[in-house]
Copies of this chain bind each other. A is one copy, B any other.
Amino acid sequence: MAAPLPRDPIADAQRNWEEHGWADVAAPMAAITAIMRTQQILLARIEGALKPFGLTFARYELLALLSFARSGALPMNKASALLQVHPTSVTNAVDRLEGSGLVTRSPHPTDGRTTLIELTAEGRIVAKRATAVLNTEVFGQSGFDAADVDQLIRILGTFRRNAGDFAD
């Protein structure tokens, strides 16, 4: 782990923005940069917790999504839409999960264009165990207090809705 910096680099950037005549957008710049950095920190924690399972976050998300589907199966395009990633990213994740024996591909019964992704028995077990570890090691120790968690859910929920993620 790198030694902490003496000062917050994002606060410094905000000051730079203000001094260069961009005071009107300095705060949003700092907030957005902080989101980028926070994502990086959280992703590293998540990947670390998943490593023992041979999973990455992208693959875990797909596994978790399938485990919540009634039938344990979903069309590729549905998974792409729900995970909000490019279809090729799903292809990539399925290739690797299939290689690990955690999911299988099968043809859609009525639509020849569609491929169904299905959880294997082992995939279901791994999803359960990985979730337990993530809950304990990451989500249970997020470092956000309860009130801030609520704030984040509210603020980011509004943002995502305005960005066109969902209509709700």
- Which residues of A line the B interface, CB within 8 A? 1-2, 4-11, 13, 16, 22, 24-25, 27-32, 34-43, 57, 64, 68, 81-84, 131, 134-135, 138-140, 142-144, 146, 148-153, 155-168
Determine which of B36, B151, B162, B168 lies in contact with A155 in the assembled complex, contact meaning CB atoms within 8 Å. Answer: B151
User: Within the oligomer, what is the number of copies of this chain?
Assistant: 2
Whether the pair B139, A7 counts as a contact (CB closer than 8 A) is no
Find out whether the CB atom of B159 lies under 8 angstroms from the CB atom of A31: no
Taking A27-B149, A151-B155, A155-B152 as contacts, is the C-beta distance between A35 and B38 under 8 angstroms? yes
In angstroms, Cα B157 to Cα A9, docked, is 11
Q: Is the CB of A4 within 8 A of B167?
A: yes
Q: In the complex the two chains form, is A157's CB within 8 Å of B11's CB? A: yes
Knowing A5-B167, A35-B38 are in contact, say whether A155-B144 is a contact too (CB < 8 A).
yes
Which of B8, B135, B142, B166 is the one whose CB lies under 8 Å from A168? B8
Selected from B2, B4, B34, B153, the residue in CB contact (under 8 A) with A31 is B153
- Tell me if A7 and B168 are in contact (CB < 8 A): yes
A138: which B residues are within 8 A, CB to CB? 32
Q: A8-B157, A9-B166, A155-B144 are in contact. Are A39 and B35 (CB under 8 A)?
A: yes
Q: Would A143 and B167 count as touching, CB distance under 8 A?
A: no
Task: Given A34-B152, A156-B34, A156-B38, decide whether A162 and B143 contact each other with a Cβ distance below 8 A.
Answer: yes
A41-B160, A167-B4, A167-B6 known; A32+B155 contact, CB < 8 A: no
- Can you list 7 contacts pairing A with B, beta carbon distance less than 8 Å? A2-B81, A5-B166, A28-B139, A31-B153, A35-B35, A35-B38, A41-B163
